[in-house]
Every structure is written in structure tokens, then in C-alpha cells.
Amino acid sequence: MNDMNGKVAIVTGGNSGIGEQTARLLIDRGARVFITARREQQGVAVAADLGATFIRHDVTQEQDWERVIEQVMTEAGKIDVLVNNAGVSGGAPIAEETLEQFERIIRTNLSSAFLGIRSVIPGMRGAGGGSIINVGSITGLTGVTGVSGYGSSKWGLRGLTKIAAAELGPDRIRVNIVNPGVIYTPMTSIHGAQPGEGSFPLSPLRRIGLAEEVGEAIAFLASPAAAYMTGEEITVDGGWMATEVSMTSHQD
């Protein structure tokens, strides 16, 4: 039931980290994948390695979404899966946050997902259904200090997921969200994250997660194996949110 043969998927932010590993898993299971990102040189190289198609894409721009959808429909004839993975991290405590930075993060992490969902609805309706997976965060599950814009965007993404699932269910379009914890990616490695046993003692599994482990959850939700799941959340955090350990700022 994990077979993705004949399926067509779009993975935003597919040039690195969770997006790249998700694209790799979908391709391995038979899907045709289009990865999108702003960094063209890196995206082209990753797409060539994966066997995917790269499309340059600013997810905050409505016109870019129209262009991406048009290209995918022209080349593949349909869209079965959308993974809204592109995003930015960062932020500051509320007292120190600027409106400009707050709105930039909201636009990149939340408004872009709205644009993506809205853009694929006609094609998925025409195909008789589809699967949309939003990539959230554990910062959208509890109050994390020091990341007001980022945390707010991920809380909003959870709400958008539920609303879209309720509205699109009758069209057989499933909408779910995966909430990663601390995952080893190029983004987190900049801040000193390292994989391996003992790398993250706050989680019951005592280690930082891997991008492919989040990709497995996304690929599952994209597949027929999750055909009766919509409006649901899968948390991939090594059990962190199952504990009573208080979360503190990433800067602490």
C-alpha cells in the first residue's frame, strides 16, 4: 500500500533536508516528483541526483504557484501529492521581534501553504482526489520562547490543515500535517546540531532525528496506506512532546 507508481508529486523546498529526503523516498516508491526551491543551481543538481524535475519557485508568490502548477500539469498531466515543506526558521522574543521579520516568517511558512493548497485544488478535484501534507513543527504544539514568528506560523499551519481537511474531504483530497522535532538538516547543523546517540538527551530516544525519518512519515501520508487519514497530525520528535520536559528557546 506504500506503492506510489503512477503518482505525481510536488515537494517544495525539495533541494535539501527533509524535502530532499521526502522526494527521494517518493521516487524510490515509483512517483514522479517535481522539487521546487528558490536556489536554482542547488535545485538542479539535487534533482539530477534524485531523478526528479526541478522548478525554480518562490512559494510566497502567487504567480510562481500558477507557473509551477501549469508546468506540472503540462508535463505530467495531473497532481496527486503536494508536500508543503518550504519554510524559514528564526525569530525573536515578542518584545524584540520586528513586524517585518514576523510577517516574513508568516508569509513563508503559512501563507505559502495556503497558496499551495488553493493552487492544487482544481487539479486534484479533476483527478478524483489527492494528498496534501504540510510540514509543521513541535513549536506549533506548545509555547516555545524566543521564536514568536516561527512558532506562530506553525500553530497557524495546524489550523489551516484542519480547515482544509474539513473542506476538501468530500473531494477525496486528504490534508495532514507532520510535526518534526529537532532534526539533523543543513539548517540545524548551522546551529551545531549533530546526529548520533546521546545527541539530544531531552527526548526519550536521546538523539536528534534524521531527515529521512520525517520523510518516511510524509511518504506514508502521501500513499494509499493512509487513505482513511485526513486532518491528522504525526509528530516525529523522538518522544519529546510525550514528556513533561519544559521547552526553552533555541538560543538558550
- Catalytic one of 65, 150, 184, 220: 150
Closest CA to 109 of 13, 218, 245: 13
150 is catalytic: yes
Backbone angles phi, psi at 57, to 5 degrees: -160, 120
Q: Which residues pair with 184 in a beta bridge?
A: 210
- Give how far Cα 75 sits from Cα of 34, 40, 55, 78, 214, Å: 10, 19, 12, 9, 28
Given a contact cutoff of 8 angstroms between Cβ atoms, the answer to whether 87 and 13 are in contact is: yes
Identify the CA nearest to 66 among candidates 78, 58, 76.
58
The closest alpha carbon to 43, from 7, 61, 68, 76, belongs to 68
Positive/negative CA dihedral, 50, 52, 57, 62: negative
Neighbouring-strand partners of residue 132: 82, 175
Catalytic residues: 150
